[in-house]
Amino acid sequence: MNQALSTPAPARLVFMESGVLGALMPMHLHVSATGHIDSVGPTLAKLRPDETLLGRRFLEVFEVKRPLHVLNFADLLEQQRCPVRLRFRHGDRLGLKGLFVPQNTPNVTFPERRGGAHDGQASVKAEPSRKTMAAGLTGALVNLSLGVSVVEAVQRYNLSSADFAPADPTVDMLYLIEAKSIALEESKRLNARLEGARVEAEEQAYSDTLTGLQNRRAMDRTLKYLENAGQPFGLMHLDLDYFKQVNDTYGHGAGDQVLKHVAGVLLDEIRSGDLVARVGGDEFVLIFKGRVSLTVLEGIAWRIIARLEEPIAYGDDTCQISASIGTTLSSFYDNPVADRMLNDADQALYTSKDKGRACHTVFNPKQRGQ
Amino acid sequence: MYGLIHRALQCFAQDTYGEDLWSKVVAEAGLECDAYEAMLTYPDDHLDKVLGALSIQVDKDTAQISEEIGSYLVTHSRMEPVRRLLRFGGTTYEEFVLSLEDLHDRVKLALPDLDLPRLEVDAHSKVSFRVAVNFSRTGFGSVLLGILRAMADDYGALVLLDLGSSFRNDVLTELVTVELFEADFAKGREFGLVSESVTS
């Protein structure tokens, strides 16, 4: 019971000096009923190093972006307590946001003082301050923040942590921004290094990642070896026909699936020890090692074309392609050179294309030099 | 542990004693890799191996090297971000020492995987402090000693530091005592709340 009785009622009014207000809210403004700035927080003052804000009209210093349609200070005072967005009208037009709180307590009555001895003194002292306090309770209090402009403002106006109220997490936020950007930078560097390593590994690899076939590097290495060792071999250059249409019509997913299917067909048609390489988007080279007869190679070539012409299912769609092939044999040459043989096979391939695609041409050594 | 620590150790060895010495340390410690990635994790025992190898190579004890590392973290240009993040602790050396209590949690906010010691600061007066190092491994006290010494220069403060240890809750805990003689003994280094690298 006793405790309940002694619980004090919350104070209806709390008075504070402007210095205290400045410490609690270093970015506050007090605006008188006439619209003149009569108190400025120390940090807010730092944002206008060459100007004095005190005594100036609030709307002359700031443009009010929110609430909308504020033409004079009376408009603002009519608002209830409301969030505001402001911008300095002159100089660096920094944006600010905060809370606007109108104050309408024109007749302040002081709580009765008890205790006779000090009575007289108190009333004498209270008389002049009553007026100023009463004036202080009209007008409006605005507490502002830099919002996301804080990074820029801190730098431009050389603010330090002492310029932010200890209860304000801005400094912690700046710490976090900095720590996170360092971590992000480190991660980016790591990613770049890993990407570099991946590219390098890919460059050094001998296989094509999509089809699992050998790649051009592997083909070059094999050809170099065969050329140096003087071993006989057959070389087939294959280029898909109508592949572009598959990509254009059904998309790259379909194209990729077709390429994998082609790889399967080609691997089926070679012997172990032979090599199939994907050397371009839809270009393949087959190397048949040892003494192979032209008849056998021709048989293989036509079989490959026939099998590639079979429709390939892609979801509900069916893709249709074919292939043109050019072939040459090391036995055609007195001194087989891999580069030249590649060129000759390529030439034969283009003869196939000229013949209307979907066919196989064997390079004719008699045409050499033409 | 997070590679940031391993990486800092590596950078310290390279920047202080040179690339050749680092290669010797790598060989001595028997590491498979010769460079650490800050954002990957590595086994904790690497730290002991590297520190041990470094100690043999430069003929200093590990406590001495750890203190050098602490001061390197604050003073070397390559470690400027570390100095900056420490300076966020406060505008004066006193505030900085008191802020060490928040260091663990602050770092956790930015890098949740980085496990740093929990530091407990007892302030006996405005100029006398004792920092207790609570960590799963010992040896960080010497690093902290180096950091506190270098940060005193950074703030321009004159301090006397001492490293000791005592049993706290049956755990041997490293303790660094800080006596602040003069807060404004010399002109400290500049610090702005926003780094140029953030806005550029």
Asked if the Cβ–Cβ distance from A172 to B106 is below 8 Å, we say yes
Of B39, B111, B199, the CB nearest to A190: B39
B91: closest CA of chain A, how far (Å):
7
Per CB-CB distance under 8 Å, the chain A contacts of B88 are 161, 171, 174-175, 178
Q: Is B35 exposed, middle or buried (0-12, 13-18, 19+ CB in 10 A)?
A: middle
B192: closest CA of chain A, how far (Å):
7
Q: Which residue has the tokens 């028997």?
A: B30
Cis peptide before A67 (omega within 30 of 0): yes
Closest Cα to residue A360, out of A309, A335, A325, A333?
A325
Mean pLDDT by 10 residues, chain B (200 residues): 87 94 92 86 90 94 95 93 88 93 89 89 94 90 96 94 89 93 86 69
Residues 184-203 of A with CB under 8 A from B: 186-187, 190, 193
Start-end of H helices in A205-324: 216-229, 243-250, 252-269, 294-309
Q: A105-111: which pairs have CB atoms within 8 A and are 24 or more residues apart?
A: A105/A13, A105/A137, A105/A138, A106/A134, A106/A137, A106/A138, A107/A134, A108/A13, A108/A133, A108/A134, A108/A137
- Quote the pLDDT of residue A149: 86
- Quote the pLDDT of residue B164: 92
Q: Per the structure block, which two tokens stand in for A216?
A: 């051009």
Q: Does A176 reach chain B within 8 Å, measured CB to CB?
A: yes
Of A174, A179, A190, the CB nearest to B193: A174
Asked if the Cβ–Cβ distance from B85 to A178 is below 8 Å, we say yes
Residues 142-171 of B with CB under 8 A from A: none
Closest Cα to residue B6, out of B20, B18, B29, A100?
B29
- Quote the pLDDT of residue A128: 44
- Please check whether residue A283 is in contact with residue A233, taking contact to mean a CB–CB distance below 8 angstroms: no
Q: How far apart are CA B45 and CA B166, in angstroms?
A: 25
Q: Is A287 exposed, middle or buried (0-12, 13-18, 19+ CB in 10 A)?
A: buried
Q: Most A CBs within 10 Å: which of B103, B108, B194, B195, as the mutation test of the A interface? A: B194
Of A155, A176, A179, the CB nearest to B194: A155
- In sequence order, the β-bridge partners of residue B119 are B133
Mean pLDDT computed over every residue of chain A = 86
Asked if the Cβ–Cβ distance from B91 to A160 is below 8 Å, we say yes
B31: Cβ contacts below 8 Å, ≥ 6 apart:
B46, B49, B50
Q: Does A178 reach chain B within 8 Å, measured CB to CB?
A: yes
Of A171, A180, A193, the CB nearest to B110: A180
B80: closest CA of chain A, how far (Å):
11
Per CB-CB distance under 8 Å, the chain B contacts of A183 are 39, 110-111
Task: Classify strands B171-182 and B128-134 as parallel, antiparallel or unpaired.
Answer: antiparallel
Q: Which residue of B has its CA nearest to A170?
A: B193
Q: Is A183 exposed, middle or buried (0-12, 13-18, 19+ CB in 10 A)?
A: middle
Residue ranges, chain A, pLDDT below 70: 1-5, 105-137, 366-370
Instruction: Give the strands of the sheet with B158-168, arranged side by side.
Output: B118-123, B128-134, B171-182, B158-168
- Please check whether residue B120 is in contact with residue B173, taking contact to mean a CB–CB distance below 8 angstroms: no
- Quote the pLDDT of residue A177: 86
Asked if the Cβ–Cβ distance from B111 to A183 is below 8 Å, we say yes
The interface pTM score, or ipTM, of the predicted complex is: 0.78
